[in-house]
Amino acid sequence: MKKAGVPAEIGYRPKWQIALEMLRQARVEGFSGPVLADSAYGTVTQFRRELDALGLPWCLGIDSTLRVIAANADLGPVPAKGPMGRTPTRPHKLADGTLKTRRVADWAWRRRSAFRKVTWRQGSRGPMASRFAVWRVRYAHRARMGIEPLEACWLIAEWPTDAEKPTKFFFSNLPATASQKELVWLAKRRWWIEHSYKELKDELGLDHFEGRSWRGWHHHVTLTMLAYLFLVELRKKLGNKGILA
């Protein structure tokens, strides 16, 4: 690290913490809008909570293993600990034998009749559509151990027509009044992020850097992004003709 010129104060941080720092700086610079990210970020509970603390709207991909309960469900209190024995937990099942919390994949499968076709935009080959379902839920990680479920949010599930089961899941903190189409539209907006990243790599060489220095890498990334900004502005003026087509 010393040989590469990495500043002494720079140490390891997970990507979601770096993203939060960038979001805070973006707000200082006057940027606004919803935060979109894949499951590497959305599965991290602290990341979602920090976004809420910043007052930012978000729609984030999540792992299918996260556990939820219905937004209006009541898990009940954890029984008091007696003078002997281990610390009690909430019952794992309700009185009728059903599970109190479920993984989002299981949740969506058991409610598969709720999926409906939604078209979110027009693509180059026609309407972009798939099957979706949305529910108001609460994230309930380790609920049996007494950790209270988080505030209600939206669970969005996608089930493509050629798939055997739901394949993608999202959490969103949009208001409870949001429509299914609004939620799907926002979840699918992340395509533009991936598209821009692909253009940065394929057309402008973002991933062509072969140096070994901290400063060189940052120079390369900065110049590549400035070049991309110039071309995007030019494309807007020319009406998308001939630039990065």
- Tens digit of each residue's pLDDT (9 = 90 or more) over 153-180: 999 999 999 999 999 999 999 999 999 9
Segment among 5-9, 85-89, 170-174 with least mean pLDDT = 85-89
Looking at the 3D structure of the chain, how many domains does it have? Answer: 3
140 shares a domain with 48? no
Residue 244 lies in a domain: no
98 shares a domain with 35? no
CB atoms within 10 A of CB 168: 20
Rounded CA-CA distance 113/48 in Å is 29
Rounded CA-CA distance 59/155 in Å is 10
Residue 7 lies in a domain: yes
Rounded CA-CA distance 163/148 in Å is 34
User: Among positive and negative, which fits the CA dihedral 170, 175, 177, 178?
Assistant: negative
Segment among 47-51, 147-151, 205-209 with least mean pLDDT = 147-151
**pLDDT tens-digit readout, 96-119:** 444 477 899 999 999 999 999 999
As a whole-number percent, the residues of the chain with pLDDT over 90 amount to 68
pLDDT band for 88, please (50, 70, 90 cuts).
low
Residue 96 lies in a domain: yes
75 shares a domain with 18? no
68 shares a domain with 1? no
State the residue range of the domain holding 114: 63-188
> Residues near 37 by Cβ (< 8 Å), separated by ≥ 6?
19, 58, 60, 61, 190
78 shares a domain with 176? yes
90 shares a domain with 37? no
Residue 243 lies in a domain: no
Segments in 55-159 forming alpha helices (H):
104-110
Where does a domain end: 171, 188, 205? 188
